[in-house]
């Protein structure tokens, strides 16, 4: 194993120190593009509780008291990852990181997880082995089998095994796909595995091998907005919404704007979209995205969607409420969110979702369509929220390829479904589709 550059290591350690201090990290654009910095920070955070367990267990075996210096502890986490996950040589670690106590390195080399876990409960063992909070395990074990729970946890931990990414293409570009050249890449219909592979469920989404992602991002098609990187879960929400030309649509919690842009592209700029965002800086970011993609039919408003600054209610043909949530279905791409999962965080989101959902129904015309979604695996943020509005709406049919939602009191709620990471190779999502009934 080759030692990594000192500067890259120091940057990773500085981010880890902030993480250990409970501060939110916003990796700079250049650091995100640096494969070593991004990889080590994301993967160490992804496996934080497992690494934390290993380091603390090893420190106790050496009779070393709690390490209060966060930078020093970050070095131990980094060293443990390099040695145990990557089988790095001890001499390489000594070059990369000056440690106050180097004896710990040889202990990492011989660390036995089986012995260390002896005496732990089933939930504790699963939490450490799969690097997932016990809070998540306890919440999900009520609605899915332990095997299915493990499958989904594993799917959200396997970032290195994701072999492709998904994109949406402008309809004009799609028509000439067989002639399309992206950089040095060209779809060859004679290849057994063409560059663009149409999604089996959503006709306007294509899969591209991950190894070509940098070339796609640097292509003219991407820069002009004719080709948009769009994860399948978000595309599914828009697919379920099924926007049509001349409709008035409200995207209540629109930032960062990917669903808004997809609605516009899908209807060839023939809908009118009110896109709301509470935070001003995110509203400006969304405006920049719309400008880059030549979207002319969306109106971005910096607003609180619980009470829209509109003169009338009951005016929208369709409302999309992709509500703020715990993000418990997004740990693959957002591993930091794992370690924010607790009762308080969940409760904060539930209160906000209830208020937004009530507002969403009020905004719709009679017979208007509501799509409610969350990137969460918790029933509290999906099925249980829908129970509050069942007397005001009627369920609508969802695509058959969605998984059934969780059973509530022995019954599955009509008009609801789920995406699971282990089944659909996408983020975990709850999706519900309903028509507003007459009062």
The answer as to whether 184 is a domain residue is yes
3-state secondary structure of 393: strand
Checking if the pLDDT of 195 tops 80, the result is no
Do 395 and 273 share a structural domain? yes
The DSSP H or E segment spanning 411 is strand 411-412
250 carries an active-site annotation = no
Do 169 and 70 share a structural domain? no
Do 291 and 205 share a structural domain? no
The answer as to whether 397 is a domain residue is yes
Do 284 and 192 share a structural domain? no
Instruction: Work out the average pLDDT over 354-382.
Output: 96
The burial of 414, by beta-carbon neighbours within 10 Å (0-12 exposed, 13-18 middle, 19 or more buried), is given as: middle
The answer as to whether 146 is a domain residue is no
Do 237 and 178 share a structural domain? no
Do 185 and 243 share a structural domain? no
pLDDT range class, residue 183, cuts 50, 70, 90 = very low
Distance, CA of 399 to CA of 377 (rounded, Å) = 19
Do 405 and 281 share a structural domain? yes
4 alpha carbon, distance to own chain's centre: 29
Summarised one tens digit per residue, pLDDT across range 207-258 is 888 888 888 888 877 877 778 888 899 999 999 999 999 999 999 998 888 8
What is the rounded average pLDDT for all residues in the chain? 89
Number of residues that this document lists for the chain: 439
Residue recorded with tokens 């909070």: 133
The answer as to whether 210 is a domain residue is yes
Alpha carbons within 13 A on the beta-carbon side of 51: 24
Distance, CA of 387 to CA of 9 (rounded, Å) = 50
Checking if the pLDDT of 193 tops 50, the result is yes
Do 239 and 204 share a structural domain? no
The answer as to whether 140 is a domain residue is no
Checking if the pLDDT of 190 tops 50, the result is no
Checking if the pLDDT of 318 tops 70, the result is yes
Do 305 and 353 share a structural domain? yes
The answer as to whether 137 is a domain residue is no
The answer as to whether 151 is a domain residue is no
DSSP 227-296: EEE--HHHHHHHHHH---TT-EEEETT-TT-HHHHHHHHHTTT-SEEEEEESSHHHHHHHHHHHHHTT--
Do 346 and 288 share a structural domain? yes
Residues spanned by the domain of 98: 6-118
pLDDT of residue 304: 82
Summarised one tens digit per residue, pLDDT across range 44-96 is 999 999 999 999 999 999 998 878 899 999 999 999 999 999 999 998 898 88
Last residue of a domain, one of 229, 255, 271: 229
Summarised one tens digit per residue, pLDDT across range 5-53 is 558 999 999 999 999 999 988 888 899 889 899 999 999 999 999 999 9
Output the six-digit token pair for 334: 């957002």
pLDDT of residue 121: 95
Give the rounded percent of residues in the chain with a pLDDT score beyond 90.
60
Q: Which of 84-93, 227-236, 297-306, 414-423 has the highest mean pLDDT?
A: 414-423
Checking if the pLDDT of 267 tops 80, the result is yes
Please identify which of the residues 180, 250, 325, 375 carries the catalytic annotation: 375
The answer as to whether 124 is a domain residue is no
Checking if the pLDDT of 4 tops 80, the result is no
Structural domains counted in the chain: 3
Checking if the pLDDT of 182 tops 80, the result is no
Do 61 and 188 share a structural domain? no
Do 381 and 312 share a structural domain? yes
Query: Which has more pLDDT, 251 or 307?
Result: 251
Summarised one tens digit per residue, pLDDT across range 101-144 is 888 999 999 999 999 999 999 999 999 999 999 999 999 999 99
pLDDT of residue 171: 67
CA distance readout (Å), 28 to 12, 38, 281, 329: 12, 10, 16, 24
Last residue of a domain, one of 175, 201, 229: 229
CA distance readout (Å), 305 to 96, 113, 300, 355: 49, 48, 12, 9
Last residue of a domain, one of 177, 199, 229: 229
- The CATH number of whichever domain residue 335 belongs to comes to 3.40.50.150
pLDDT of residue 179: 44
């Amino acid at each position: 194993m080759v030692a990594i550059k000192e500067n890259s290591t120091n940057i990773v350690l500085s981010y880890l120190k902030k993480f250990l201090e409970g501060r939110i990290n916003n990796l700079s654009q250049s650091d995100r593009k640096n494969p070593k910095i991004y990889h080590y920070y994301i993967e160490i955070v992804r496996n934080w509780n497992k690494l934390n367990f290993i380091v603390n267990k090893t420190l106790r075996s050496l009779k070393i008291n709690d390490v209060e210096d966060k930078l020093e502890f970050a070095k131990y986490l980094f060293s443990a990852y390099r040695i145990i996950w990557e089988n790095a040589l001890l001499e390489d670690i000594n070059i990369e990181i000056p440690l106050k106590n180097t004896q710990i390195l040889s202990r990492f080399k011989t660390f036995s997880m089986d012995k260390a876990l002896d005496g732990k409960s089933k939930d504790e063992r699963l939490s450490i082995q799969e690097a997932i909070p016990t809070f998540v395990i306890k919440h999900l074990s009520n609605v899915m089998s332990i095997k299915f729970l493990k499958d989904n946890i594993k799917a959200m931990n396997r970032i290195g095994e994701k072999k492709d990414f998904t994109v949406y293409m402008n309809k004009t570009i799609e028509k000439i796909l067989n002639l399309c050249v992206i950089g040095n890449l060209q779809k060859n219909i004679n290849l057994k595995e063409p560059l663009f592979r149409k999604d089996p469920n959503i006709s306007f989404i294509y899969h591209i091998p991950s190894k070509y992602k940098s070339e796609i991002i640097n292509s003219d098609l991407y820069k002009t907005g004719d080709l948009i990187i769009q994860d399948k879960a978000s595309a599914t929400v828009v697919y379920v919404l099924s926007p049509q030309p001349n409709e008035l649509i409200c995207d209540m919690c629109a930032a960062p704007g990917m669903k808004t842009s997809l609605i516009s592209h899908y209807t060839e700029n023939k809908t009118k979209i009110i896109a709301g965002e509470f935070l001003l800086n995110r509203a400006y970011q969304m405006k920049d995205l719309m400008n880059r993609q030549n979207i002319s039919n969306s109106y971005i408003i910096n607003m609180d969607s619980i009470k829209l600054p509109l003169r009338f209610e009951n005016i929208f043909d369709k409302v999309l409420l992709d509500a703020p949530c715990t993000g418990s279905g997004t740990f693959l791409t957002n591993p930091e969110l794992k370690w924010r999962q607790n009762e308080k965080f969940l409760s904060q989101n539930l209160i906000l979702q209830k208020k937004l959902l009530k507002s969403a129904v009020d905004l719709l015309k009679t017979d208007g369509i509501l799509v409610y979604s969350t990137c969460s695996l918790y029933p509290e943020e999906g099925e249980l929220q829908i129970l509050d509005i069942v007397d005001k709406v009627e369920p609508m049919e969802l695509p058959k390829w969605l998984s059934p939602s969780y059973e509530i009191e022995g019954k599955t709620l009509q008009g609801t479904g789920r995406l699971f990471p282990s089944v659909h190779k996408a983020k975990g999502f709850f999706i519900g589709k309903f028509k507003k009934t007459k009062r």
